[in-house]
Amino acid sequence: MNRRIVVTGLGMITPLGIGVEKTWDAICRGESGIGHITRFDTSDFPTKIAGEVKDFNPADYIDKKEIKKMDTFIHYALASAAMAVDDAKLNITDENSERVGVLVGAGLGGLPSIERYHDIYLKEGVRRISPFFIPMLIANLASGQISIRFGAKGPNSCVVTACATGTHAIGDAYKIIQRGDADVMIAGGAESVITPLAVGGFCAARALSTRNDEPQRASRPFDKDRDGFVMGEGAGVIILEEMEFARRRGAKIYAEVSGYGMSGDAHHITSPPPGGEGAVRCMKLALKDGGISPDEVDYINAHATSTFADSLETQAIKTVFAEHAYKLTVSSTKSMIGHLLGAAGGVEAIFSILAIDRGILPPTINYETPDPECDLDYVPNKSRKADVKVAMSNSFGFGGTNAAIIFKKLRVKN
């Protein structure tokens, strides 16, 4: 349990671009990746906007013969993993392969394939269903395909915890290395469900913004006029390594993982409890796990989705951090890319890591009308330079499942 775990590689696909640098540059400029949905006809839908990934060509990362065997979320996961492995300059060999694992999750998995093949079945019958249909859609095939691609023979698993998926995946991978079951883990989340059924389902739940005339201003976490979240898609994958393993091979280290907490609300299928009580316990557990005092935290990448629950997360932060809550900074990058569901935690972990590595706080854009119940420093509208030593990333999912992970600037013990 004394093993230290560090981050050595980053890979990302978002509505703001393909790759970490393109997305991060846009985030720092406060750009929005939200627009009108182009995947299907939204004429009958109350919500007509989302954060779609543009200009992604799976053939840049995946053998053309394999592309049709995978749903889009697997394309995103594989591509982001390839970016992260390349960034880390990680060489997986016969000698180390059994010590390299994969844990990449998805919240809804291959829903596009389910919709497509259900339509094919109704129109053309059972014989037209692809033999690859099941491996296309099940969530753990993101991890499976990554493991196959890179020859990673260590732990191969998957997390499916709705909007907390990516954070749970990284946190669980951290614990796998910490307990000695692997030296390296490829971890994160992926999602691509901008489909009629998914959008329709969230519309039915009245969860989505209907600010259709102003897509880029629709996602507005903490703002008084927020009216629901905006769906996004993409993937965020990182390379975690035991620190001495990383040092021996001369890897660049972005940050150290230094705390992980998880909790259950036991309250409601979609709504947090009063005061964000489950989030309070989750953040406290992450701090305890890392031996970090509340006043050491400089930045929180909030779960904040642009719904009523933003005020509950604010209350939870104030409960955990007390007076320090007004000294630390909080922002929601969902204001720019929307809510990537199962991929959100992976992408937001990368933003938290880059805040430490680059010394820049990502903004919360579209923050125009303050909400009296949301009264912290949300880095409104413009990024800000700062010396970030400790950052926390929060993710809370349907079913009352909560995750918080802490990254810190690497400190070398003598």
From the list 75, 168, 303, 374, the catalytic residue is 303
From the list 75, 203, 282, 339, the catalytic residue is 339
* Gyration radius of the chain's alpha carbons: 20
Active-site residue 267, yes or no?
no
**Closest among 376, 390, 332 to 27, alpha carbons compared:** 332
Beta strands 184-191; 234-242: pairing state: antiparallel
Question: Both ends of the chain: CA-CA distance in Å?
Answer: 18
Active-site residue 303, yes or no?
yes
From the list 75, 158, 163, 374, the catalytic residue is 163
Active-site residue 36, yes or no?
no
- Cβ atoms 155, 181 nearer than 8 A: yes
- H/E element holding 115? helix 111-124
| CA dist., res. 406 & res. 299, Å (int) | 10
Beta strands 390-397; 384-385: pairing state: unpaired
The type of residue at 45 is F
**Closest among 361, 355, 392 to 377, alpha carbons compared:** 361
Joined together, the tokens standing for residue 154 give: 């260590």
Residues in the chain, overall count: 414
DSSP string, 70-105: S-HHHHHHHHHHHHHHHHHT----TTTGGGEEEEEE
Beta strands 390-397; 401-408: pairing state: antiparallel
**Closest among 138, 171, 158 to 402, alpha carbons compared:** 171
- Cβ atoms 197, 111 nearer than 8 A: yes
Give me the active site residues, please.
163, 303, 339
